[in-house]
A and B are shown apart, each in its own frame.
Chain A
Amino acid sequence: MTSGLIFGLTGIAVFAIGLFGALVMVEPLRRVLALKLCSVGAGFLLVVGAWREPPEAPDPVPHALVITGIVVMISATAVALALIRRLHMLERDTDD
């Protein structure tokens, strides 16, 4: 049993939970969060791929990939949230 093993399984579980949420959730914000869970799960897997039993230094390449992934994900999240706000506004206006 190692930290890598524990957190690798954690990441896969979080990914699967996020996938479930993305497939069945209907609330807009919750769907966005479900997708965010998937991205954290994928991040876990890459960080585990970089991990070496200390004191050996980790592989920096996956770390760079996850940082890129985090910035990409907030970009996608911001667009999705803007669409949610816009749709809400359009639907509210027609309801009146």
Chain B
Amino acid sequence: MVEPLLLFDALLGLAIVALAVAVLTVHDRFAMIVLFIVFGLMSALAWVRLSAPDVALAEAAIGTGLTGALLLTTLHHIRAAPAAPVPVPGGVVVANLGLCALIFGGLAFAFLLTPLQAPGLAPAVAQNMAASGVGHPVTAVLLNFRAYDTLMEVVVLLAAIVAVWMVERGTVQAPAPVLGEIYRGFSRLALPAIVVIGSYLLWVGAQAPGGAFQGGAVLAAVGLLLLLGRLYRPQPAHRPFARAGFVLGTAVFAGVALLVAGGGRLPFEYPAAHAKTLILLIEGMVTISIAVTLAALFHGREPEAVPVSEKSE
């Protein structure tokens, strides 16, 4: 008397847990990253089953795809390092295993005692959708109701690229993976298609699953291909443009939020007649910033001219 879909869910859940364990236990570090990517895609599938296609798309593109690319290029840089520097004492492992089992038990207990499907904020969102300027509820929450959070999220991304550029001084030209000839041909064909897909995701976000973050991630993939195919090489002279690209989304978002205020209106309170236009403007600029920033995070260090040792700076 088990519904087939529920059986599927249960198997999927078990597979996700097993993959999580495998990520931590598999010896080879390359296999670890591959398993993590499979884990991320399975989680995205589970979120589709939970009727969260936007989240699944974001997790697959950003949380799994781009994160996986970041992990692989880092592994490429540090592969000379020993896989396991210092073994952890067995007692510590057992104690932490017990602690985490206890935490799992406690949290699962609290979860099982909590009734699911409470009304939440869904009715409030539905009630205010008409005034939000967009047709898709998730986009309305991200760019209108909780736009302040989203602005700060773009600020987190900005902080990340500032920190990464600061950390990696670009003085040593670290080896970077390069695509082979066949892939370069492929990337020339794929690039325009990806640009179209990314822009489409941004555009459709106003009405259907998709939006700035998913679109930005897909466009960032363009940047990755350009970098890997050596079709684009970051130059020190490009730094001002890169910096402008990083801050564009934050600056426009914050600027719009402040400029709409006044005359009785509060910050972030878009005038009803222009809400849709303003949100599209913000989304477009944020998409560009996300794409540029994610690609730059993949590239890592700030492009610097001086290929000398650290101390002479």
Contact = CB atoms under 8 A, between A and B. Distances in A.
Given A33-B24, A36-B36, A60-B141, 12 more contacts: A4-B116, A6-B9, A21-B24, A29-B32, A29-B75, A40-B43, A51-B117, A57-B122, A61-B122, A67-B142, A79-B164, A89-B174
Contacts of A47: 47, 50, 52, 55
Chain B contact residues: helix, strand, loop or mixed: helix
A33 B50 contact: no
A59 B122 contact: yes
A65 to B, nearest CB: 8
Interface stretch (B150-158, B179-187, B194-202, B264-272): B150-158
Contacts of B87: 26
Contacts of B149: 64-65, 68
A95 B77 CA distance: 16
Given A30-B24, A58-B122, A60-B138, A66 B55 contact: yes
Given A14-B20, A70-B62, A33 B36 contact: yes
B137 A71 contact: no
A50 B290 CA distance: 26
B78 A64 contact: no
A29 B36 CA distance: 11
Interface string A17-44: 1111101111111101110110110011
Nearest to B140: A60
A57 B122 CA distance: 9
Taking residues whose C-beta sits less than 8 angstroms from the other chain, chain B's interface range is 35 or more
A6 B10 contact: yes
A77 B67 contact: yes
A59 B55 contact: no
A84 B167 CA distance: 10
Interface in B154-186: 156-157, 159-161, 163-164, 167-168, 172, 174
A27 B84 contact: yes
Contacts of A44: 43, 46-47
B88 interface: yes
B120 interface: yes
B80 interface: yes
A59 B81 CA distance: 46
A53 B29 contact: no
Nearest to A83: B167
B4 interface: no
Contacts of A82: 163-164, 167-168, 300-301
B16 interface: yes
B121 A66 contact: no
Contacts of A8: 111, 116
A47 to B, nearest CB: 5
Contacts of A10: 13, 16-17, 46
Contacts of B290: 71
Interface string B31-65: 01100100110010011011110110011001100
Contacts of B121: 59, 61
Nearest to B142: A64
A61 B120 contact: yes
A66 B78 CA distance: 31
